Structure 1
């Protein structure tokens, strides 16, 4: 019964999620994913990465099976709001429901407070 409740609640809240456009190689993608996961946790929504399933370019299919196999890959529903990293330095991210992070987010300040969960 408890499992059924979880799935019902999850599907009811599928319009609020965070994802990231995966760019660069593995190191860049780790920063992008860690930032998206931390932002999602901070705002009580899911982090999902449908690009891990749909993109066939670069090494993403291989990287997914070896490193990112535990990540959610459900597609985002509804309108997606893009958020582009304004600079290469840390800058707080204003949360929006159903957002896609675009940038490299190469500062641990984005996710350090969730370090144990993300490792």
Structure 2
């Protein structure tokens, strides 16, 4: 059991580091890179849209009704509440995902642990 926890921790740390490096690559192409949250809160308000990906590490994110993320959403060890739309994929690593009301995900939804 302890070996499994160590393996999971090592996997998550490797994943977090790899995602931390990725946004700089996206930023170089001139497009809006999206938003990265480290241990804090993020709210995409009603009727607002985010061009690009949303990545949350150990924080919380709320996508209010009629909001739209035009990209992928990744949550690692945090909490995501979706009342709006995600046009890409939703991936959760050890996080909590709440889909409410009119939540829509046009891509794939994948959950690992949590």
Q: Which has the higher helix share?
A: 1
TM over 0.5: no
Which structure exhibits the higher relative contact order, with contacts defined as CA atoms closer than 8 Å and separated by 6 or more residues? 1
Give the alignment's TM-score, normalised by structure 2.
0.27
Q: TM-score, normalised by structure 1?
A: 0.26
Q: Higher strand proportion, which one?
A: 2
